[in-house]
Amino acid sequence: MYMYSNMKKVFVTGAAGFIGSNLVERLLFHGLDVVGFDNLSTGQERFLDASEKSPKFVFIEGDVLNKDALISAMMGCDAVFHLAANADVRFGLNNTSRDLEQNTIATHNVLEAMNANNIKLLVFSSTGSVYGESTIIPTPENAPFPIQTSLYAASKLACEGLIQAYCEGFGIEGYIFRFVSIVGERYTHGHIFDFYKQLINNPSKLTVLGDGTQQKSYLYVGDCINAIDHVLSMRTARSSKHNVAIYNLGADTYIRVNDSIKTICNTLGVNPIITYTGGSKGWIGDNPFIFLDTTKIKNIGWKCEHTIEQGIVKTLNWLQNNLWIYDKRT
């Protein structure tokens, strides 16, 4: 486990979430002690069933908005993986404080708790949405300074800025990953989740937000965890000017929502009549074309091993075997 050779114990916020719970399993696989932290607002205890069997795993139910709880929970850890977040892009305008609190202020709390515990390594899950409606596609990490179009992306950008300033000021080694939408086992929100839910209720009808021409890229969660692992094995931030390394994470291609629907319908063996709500965007702040340039991480040896279609099929298979999630996440 060369990449974690200096580490014994790591801290994961959002540990019971989709990506967090997959990451926890990988970290345990590497032989690390893992402290998982989650308020179980969207995270699921069942996602930690496998990890709970390990004597090296401790779960702490707590909220990242509680700085004191974070400070004491982090004690003795060598690194922090900060994945806890509000991840719902769509409803920011309905609750205009949520992204500020759960993303920006929460990340500030995590950084303060790291300082209080003298922890010097942070991995953060950001989003390709920070590029707004980029004029350059595929979009590289050094794309032109963007305009934010959603409160979600604005809050993630604010988190990135905070992390960068703490890295500069306090010598924290920071890794920021800008994800496209992640799919796969334990996927609990997004268009596949919504479409499958509609098709369970009525396999002959499907309502699609926008006009179906939005183009997006999706990354399989296994490829996402591999990427984080791979970057940490290189520890590239240590040699960068500002102590922080930023990587796009995404698949090598993109698909239209309509093509994604075809894959979903083929996998499920249904043939619904599709109604479009219309407009080129699914909602205000929706980005009609997200496709990230991943040359930077590919140049240090990461490879995306699953196609978007494989990711969608794996997601559907998991949802089919875990219908209970629809009772938990309405």
Binding residues for a second copy (CB under 8 A): 92-93, 96-97, 100, 104-105, 108, 111-112, 115, 131-133, 141-151, 153-155, 157-158, 160-162, 164-166, 168-170, 241-242, 244, 246, 284-285
- Do the beta carbons of residue 326 and residue 274 sit within 8 Å? no
- State how far the Cα of 246 lies from the Cα of 239, in Å rounded to an integer: 13
CB of 127 to a second copy, least distance (A): 12
Backbone phi, psi, residue 48, to 5° = -105, 5
CB of 91 to a second copy, least distance (A): 11
Query: For 129-136, which contacts have Cβ atoms below 8 Å and span 24 or more sequence positions?
Result: 129/89, 129/153, 129/156, 129/287, 129/290, 130/156, 130/157, 130/160, 130/178, 131/178, 131/287, 131/290, 131/292, 132/287, 133/287, 133/288, 133/289
CB of 285 to a second copy, least distance (A): 6
CB of 237 to a second copy, least distance (A): 11
- Do the beta carbons of residue 193 and residue 319 sit within 8 Å? yes
Identify the CA nearest to 71 among candidates 112, 107, 34. Answer: 112
Catalytic residues: 152
Q: With respect to a second copy, which residue has the nearer C-beta, 28 or 159?
A: 159
CB of 227 to a second copy, least distance (A): 19
- State how far the Cα of 24 lies from the Cα of 11, in Å rounded to an integer: 9
- State how far the Cα of 44 lies from the Cα of 23, in Å rounded to an integer: 14
Q: With respect to a second copy, which residue has the nearer C-beta, 264 or 297?
A: 297
Q: With respect to a second copy, which residue has the nearer C-beta, 143 or 180?
A: 143
- Do the beta carbons of residue 29 and residue 54 sit within 8 Å? no
Q: With respect to a second copy, which residue has the nearer C-beta, 147 or 300?
A: 147
Q: With respect to a second copy, which residue has the nearer C-beta, 5 or 96?
A: 96
